[in-house]
Structure formats: structure tokens, C-alpha cells
């Protein structure tokens, strides 16, 4: 589904009545190269049937619907920051209709990830646990740091989010761990430590520890510490607004306009796959 540079990107939003949904709708409506065409939410939501942009004080003429096909009828791309069960329902319909996807949902099982991979044979998908440009640059910095600090450094990842977040560690924290482990020739599942309580014994060399904080309205803070004898290196990213996720999602939409199928991440979108690599 190639888009002419003279045509706006026709975009539907899942989870349209939520905080992230509102941020995405506002970003799409403000973008000169985008057109807001559909709004999805779950059955039973009290805002079904209302204008999706009413919160902005300037209705868009797009009603929030639980009918997935109706919400996607005019869309080229669905942006989905919901929950795994909802995203998988959207995925099946998008695959059937040929609608591309930008997926920011986290907490997928391995089986669900395999379904997304399979769907990408028919539609183009950008999936990333964090769409923020800054976070993805941070991931690249972590890849470089992990390569250089691959011996003698203990690695700890701390993340903090608002009290309403339902999964832990965050998808971004897990992605950080995966990037670090991969850069060191390992798999995260073989070295991750997610819990510490009671008499744990000494730290296991080579492990990657995770700590989770939930409270208030924290949008998202992530810090990775590389600690050794005599020094400590910390790489931190802090989000103060969800608008960064929305703007990154729009960059992903523009990237997808040049793709027919395949599963991509934000490194692909931002051209970071080769950055920093030696020829």
C-alpha cells in the first residue's frame, strides 16, 4: 500500500478514548500530511458513538466505534497502543483488509509475537515497545555501551511509570535488556533477574537486574546502570509527555508508506540499524 507524497496518510486510532489515544488523535489532526479517519474502542465504553475529537473542542466528524471493520474502512494505517488481546483482534482484521499497523502495545506472549510476525508477511507493521525518538536513540547508546562494557560491569535497569500501568517491567525496560544482552552475544532470558527478596546471595556475574516503580502520574523514566569497581555509568531517559510517543508514531506511519509488508522497529524507522557499526 504505497502512498503518494501528495496524499495524506489516512490513519485510524485504537483506544481512542484513552490518554494515549487522545494524544495520538491530537497529533494526527495537527499533522499536515495526515488525515484522521477512524477511532476504535472496546464494547461497553461509555464514549462509543461520540465524536473522537470532542475533547479538543473541535469535533472531527469521526465517531468512536467498537466495530473494527467500520473503524478501519477508510484507513491505510492503524496506530494501536492498547492491550495485547485488543491488538490481536485488530491485527486479524488489519491483515484481512490490508491495513498497515503501528503497534506500541506491550506485554505480548511469545505466541502473540509469532502471530504478528506471520501477519507481517501480508501487511507492513512497525512494532516497538516505545515509539519515542529519544528512547530509541537511547537504545542505540545502550548497544554501544554494552559492547564496550562487556566485561566486569554489573548491569541494572530501573523503570518508573504511573500507577495505572498494568505490566511490569515495562516493555521499554525489557527492550533495553534485550538490546544489551544481544550486544554482548547473549539472550535476555538467560541472564535476567526480575525479583529480589530475602536472602538472595551474592549477585550473579553477568546478570541483568530489573527494578520497577509504580506511582502517581509518571509518564516513563528509564535508567540503565553499568557499575564496576571505581566507577558507575548511568544512561537515563525521562519522558514528561506522551506527545513524544505520538510524534514517533507519525514517523513510523510515514516510513510504512514506502513498505508493502514486513515487520519493522523504530531502529528501521530512524535509520539506526547501521549507525555506529564498523564497515
Q: What CATH number is given to the structural domain containing 205?
A: 3.30.360.10
One domain for residues 72 and 88: yes
83 DSSP 8-state letter: -
Q: Would residue 278 count as lying in a domain?
A: no
Percent helix, strand, coil in the chain, to 5, is 35, 25, 40
pLDDT tens digit sequence for 84-97: 999 999 999 999 99
115 pLDDT above the threshold of 90: yes
pTM: 0.83
* Same domain (yes/no): 248, 229: no
The CATH number of whichever domain residue 88 belongs to comes to 3.40.50.720
- Are 181 and 187 in contact, with CB atoms under 8 Å apart? yes
User: Which residue in the block uniquely carries the three cell numbers 473494527?
Assistant: 68
Same domain, 205 and 72: no
Same domain? 23 vs 123? yes
**Which of 9, 22, 90, 161 does the annotation list as catalytic?**
161
pLDDT of 262 above 60: yes
Same domain, 206 and 118: no
Do 117 and 254 belong together in one domain? yes
The residue written with cell numbers 479517519 in the block is 37
How much is the pLDDT for 232?
Answer: 98
Can 165 be counted among the known catalytic residues? yes
pLDDT tens digit string along 28-55? 999 999 999 999 999 999 999 999 999 9
Is residue 65 domain-shared with residue 202, that is, in the same domain?
Answer: no
Judgement on whether residues 58 and 95 belong to the same structural domain of the protein: yes
**Considering only CA atoms, which of 105, 57, 61, 55 is closest in space to residue 80?**
105
pLDDT for 278: 39
Please state the domain count of the chain: 2
Q: Are residues 123 and 16 in the same domain?
A: yes
* Distance (Å, whole) CA 100 – CA 117: 13
Per residue in 2-30, pLDDT tens? Answer: 444 568 999 999 999 999 999 999 999 99
Same domain, 23 and 100: yes
Please indicate, yes or no, whether residues 257 and 234 belong to a single structural domain of this protein. no
Is residue 120's pLDDT more than 90? yes
Task: Please report the pLDDT score of residue 162 as a whole number.
Answer: 95
Residue 234 in any domain: the answer is yes
Give the integer Cα–Cα distance in Å for 13 and 39: 5
Domain range enclosing 214? 133-239
Amino acid at each position: 500500500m504505497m502512498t503518494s507524497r501528495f496524499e495524506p496518510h489516512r490513519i485510524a486510532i485504537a483506544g481512542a478514548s484513552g490518554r494515549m489515544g487522545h494524544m495520538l488523535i491530537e497529533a494526527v489532526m495537527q499533522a499536515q500530511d495526515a488525515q484522521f479517519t477512524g477511532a476504535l474502542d472496546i464494547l461497553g465504553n461509555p464514549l462509543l458513538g461520540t465524536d473522537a475529537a470532542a475533547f479538543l473542542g473541535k469535533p472531527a466528524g469521526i465517531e468512536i466505534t467498537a466495530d473494527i471493520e467500520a473503524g478501519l474502512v477508510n484507513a491505510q494505517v492503524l496506530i494501536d497502543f492498547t492491550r495485547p488481546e485488543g491488538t490481536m483482534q485488530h491485527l486479524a482484521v488489519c491483515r484481512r483488509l490490508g491495513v498497515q499497523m503501528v503497534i506500541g502495545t506491550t506485554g505480548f506472549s511469545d505466541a502473540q509475537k509469532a502471530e504478528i510476525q506471520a501477519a507481517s508477511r501480508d501487511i507492513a507493521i512497525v512494532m516497538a515497545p516505545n515509539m519515542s525518538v529519544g528512547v530509541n536513540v537511547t537504545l542505540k547508546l545502550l548497544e554501544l555501551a554494552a559492547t564496550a562494557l562487556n566485561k566486569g560491569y554489573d548491569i541494572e535497569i530501573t523503570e518508573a511509570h504511573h500507577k495505572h500501568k498494568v505490566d511490569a517491567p515495562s516493555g521499554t525496560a525489557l527492550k533495553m535488556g534485550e538490546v544489551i544482552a544481544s550486544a554482548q552475544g547473549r539472550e535476555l532470558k538467560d541472564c535476567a533477574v526480575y525479583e529480589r527478596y530475602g536472602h538472595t546471595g551474592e549477585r550473579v556475574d553477568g546478570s541483568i537486574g530489573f527494578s520497577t516503580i509504580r506511582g502517581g502520574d509518571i509518564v516513563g523514566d528509564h535508567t540503565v546502570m553499568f557499575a564496576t569497581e571505581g566507577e558507575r555509568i548511568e544512561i537515563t531517559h525521562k519522558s514528561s509527555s506522551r506527545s513524544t510517543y505520538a510524534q514517533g508514531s507519525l514517523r513510523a506511519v510515514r516510513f510504512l508508506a514506502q513498505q508493502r509488508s514486513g515487520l519493522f522497529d523504530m531502529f528501521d524507522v530512524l535509520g539506526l540499524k547501521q549507525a555506529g557499526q564498523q564497515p
